[in-house]
Amino acid sequence: MQGTTPEFIRWALAHECPLRDFPKWKDPNKTERHLRAIRVYQNAVQDSRVLDGIAIEPLVSSDVVPNEVLGFRVDDVFEFYGDPSSVASICEPCPANAVRQSDSQAWVGCFGLMPVSNIVLPDLVDEVPVGTVDLREQLELLLTQQPYLEESIRTCFPRTSPEWYGLWISRVPSIKQRQIQLQVVNELLKVVPCAITPPWEAFQSALRLSVDRKIPLHIQLVPEAVTDGVYWYVDQHCGRCCAISTALTHTGQQCQVCKNEGRPREPQRRFVRGKRPYWKMTRFLGAEGTSKYLERYLKQKG
């Protein structure tokens, strides 16, 4: 799994709830780490990949190597949260469930990752296998057409070039700032030359809920990165606006995007988030158990 990851906005609505009972629960990264497995479980249910309390990864062909196949026990994922029905009863009425605005089944919809660039265009797949839309560029274009929007950005956010970065410098934007961020995202999604993908929609809903229901929103801009499947490498970037520091964007003493003085942050290396909660099925079912499970699963799948 080599490749690049786009710039992201990591977000989480800071709404207190029994599922977010962990240290630094407002932090978007911590929230994702703690709750992502529930989404992974829900995806498996939606794809009919749960049988006898065990979820199995999507199979590319029925020609499976039992020793390689990945899965997880549903009970293991829910160990910390009760069970699926107790999660449902917490998340269904939750005012911070932004994902539920577009997917009525969704639980743990209070956090997400919104890609900023290098997005596959699902509606153009036939013509362009991997197209790119860059919200940073889309914003520059938009502002040339909507000077009043540019004006309100300039009054409420630090000045940056491109203006995109100024919008996300504050980790916990004020309600006034969230109103403008919502306006920006609404306008951007009207003009992007592709279908609106679910992660965009979720962020838009999160901003709307955070404004309408006055729920604080926590944001982290994550710079684009390269991965070799094990690690994830982020280049030097500005510690304030998080723009990648190149010869064009940083003098070594000053960020040219946000004018912050000081050296850029050193390159970072982190583990990729991996396949959790999936792991080798043979590790928890044994070789024979896995073969039997696969037989049953493939049979009912037809």
Under the rule (CB under 5 A), what is the footprint of Zn ion? Answer: 17, 94, 110, 238, 240-241, 255, 257-258, 260
d(CA 35, CA 85): 15
User: How near is the Cβ of 243 to Zn ion at its closest, in Å?
Assistant: 5
User: How near is the Cβ of 287 to Zn ion at its closest, in Å?
Assistant: 39
Task: Record the tokens describing residue 88, joined without a space.
Answer: 């449902």
d(CA 236, CA 243): 9
Give buried/exposed letters for 183-219 (b at 16+ CB in 10 A, else e): bbbebbbeebebeebebbbbbbbbbbbbbeeebbbbb
Closest to Zn ion by CB, 80 or 231: 80
Q: Using omega within 30 degrees of 0 as the cis cutoff, is the peptide bond preceding 129 cis?
A: no
Q: Could you give the C-alpha distances from 297 to 50, 130, 283, 302, in angstroms and in order?
A: 9, 33, 18, 9
Question: Which of 20, 97, 54 is CA-nearest to residue 279?
Answer: 54
d(CA 199, CA 6): 13
Beta bridge partners, 270, equal: 232
φ, ψ for residue 78, nearest 5 deg: -90, 0
Closest to Zn ion by CB, 121 or 255: 255
d(CA 153, CA 278): 43
Closest to Zn ion by CB, 94 or 180: 94
Closest to Zn ion by CB, 131 or 199: 199
User: How near is the Cβ of 63 to Zn ion at its closest, in Å?
Assistant: 40
Closest to Zn ion by CB, 164 or 293: 164
φ, ψ for residue 193, nearest 5 deg: -85, 50
d(CA 302, CA 299): 5
User: How near is the Cβ of 98 to Zn ion at its closest, in Å?
Assistant: 9
User: How near is the Cβ of 216 to Zn ion at its closest, in Å?
Assistant: 13
User: How near is the Cβ of 245 to Zn ion at its closest, in Å?
Assistant: 8
Closest to Zn ion by CB, 61 or 253: 253
Closest to Zn ion by CB, 100 or 240: 240
Closest to Zn ion by CB, 178 or 250: 250
User: How near is the Cβ of 254 to Zn ion at its closest, in Å?
Assistant: 9
User: How near is the Cβ of 200 to Zn ion at its closest, in Å?
Assistant: 20
Map residue 288 onto helix, strand or coil: helix
